[in-house]
Amino acid sequence: MSKVLVVGGAGYIGSHMVKMLGRQGCDVTTLDDLSSGHRDAVLCGDFVQGDMGDRAMLDAVLARGFDAVMHFASFIQVGESVQQPAKYYQNNVVNTLGLLDAMRSHGVGRFIFSSTAATFGEPQYSPIDERHPQQPINPYGRTKLMVEQVLADYERAYGLRSVCLRYFNAAGADPEGQLGERHEPETHLIPLVLQAASGRRPHIGVFGRDYDTPDGTCVRDYIHIEDLCSAHGLALQSLMGGAGSQAYNLGNGQGFSVQEVIDTAQQVTGRSIAVVNGPRRAGDPARLVADASLIREKLGWQPRYADLATIVEHAWRWEIRGE
């Protein structure tokens, strides 16, 4: 039974991860400052409220002894990272380095890191595999790439082994309906489309219809939160089994346009969704699709909910909970 510290375990992805680890029989502790996470989303294990930048607190938590740390405590908004880069470098880089230092002090040598497709920047080819050049075009992507580079150096120098998982578009919700996306403010397409369907918002704005894609709207690779978490479980197993560090791209390998997401949401919900066309959002590449062959081959990862309608259906059940 692995003993795992989940930093940021009260957030969207972290909370699903904590639930899955608990189900798998892991001894799990969540550390979260609740700046954006929710205490009631932590469904099992111990919970510690604390700021990752607080070294004394980190020392006290890590003194409990862990086999591995999973790190989900990042700021994730591209636009905000352009406006407030210091906030992003401080939390996503400096505080992550502090976490790694504390892990080294306490002899914790396995780390699973939430990286992103944003480390690639503007795609040079599609689908994007691990050999694709990493040239991020915003501070958010740069913070994640910096940590990836730090991790490579730390393995060589200190033997700290890590798996970096570069998420494409995390989406969906707990199939059992206990958890889902609760960002404040919400910026992600699928929850916003579903809020327009449920009446919580008047409409969905489409950011640009003039992209070089089949219907002119941006194409993304949506991966179900459970499949994303199962990849972390396999990464943990690989590190526990002695594997060396590795970075993997994580998506379904299939792209859907913004319009296709809206159409799917109308079918799944049976409700009509008002659409307002708007200008492009700065920094959005036309197409981001993963080639996830490497994680399939090396870790045997297989998505269970690759179908977009299923992803949207689970998110919809979460959106209308209690209705």
Query: Footprint of ligand UFG on this chain (CB under 6 A)?
Result: 76, 78, 116-118, 140, 169, 187-189, 192, 204-207, 218, 220, 258, 281, 284
Pairing of strands 219-220, 256-257: antiparallel
**Which is nearer to ligand UFG, 61 or 258 (by Cβ)?**
258
- Say which of 12, 88, 125, 140 is annotated catalytic: 140
Check whether the bond before 127 is cis (ω within 30° of 0).
yes
CB of 67 to ligand UFG, least distance (A): 28
Which tokens is 208 given? Answer: 């640009």
Closest contact distance (angstroms) between CB of 309 and ligand UFG is 17
Least separation in angstroms between CB 39 and ligand UFG: 23
Provide the minimum distance between the beta carbon of 36 and ligand UFG in the complex, in angstroms, as a whole number: 13
Radius of gyration of the chain, Cα coordinates, nearest whole angstrom: 19
Task: Return the number of the residue (21 or 204) whose C-beta is nearest ligand UFG.
Answer: 204
Q: How far apart are the first and last CA of the chain?
A: 39
In whole angstroms, the minimum distance from the beta carbon of 234 to ligand UFG comes to: 22
Q: Which is nearer to ligand UFG, 104 or 188 (CB)?
A: 188
Decide: 68 and 43 in contact? Cβ < 8 Å: no
- Closest CB to ligand UFG among residues 113, 154: 113
Q: Half-sphere exposure of residue 254, counting CA atoms within 13 Å on the CB side?
A: 11
CA 26 remoteness from chain centre: 21
Q: Which residues contact 310 (CB under 8 A, 6 or more apart)?
A: 172, 224
Do residues 16 and 180 lie in contact, with contact meaning Cβ atoms separated by under 8 Å? no
Query: Quick one: which H or E segment has residue 193?
Result: helix 189-198
Backbone angles phi, psi at 48, to 5 degrees: -125, 125
In the annotation, is 154 catalytic?
Answer: no
Which residue lies nearer to ligand UFG by CB, 189 or 247? Answer: 189
State residue 258 phi and psi, 5-degree precision.
-55, -45
Residue showing the smallest CB distance to ligand UFG in the complex: 218
Active site residues: 140
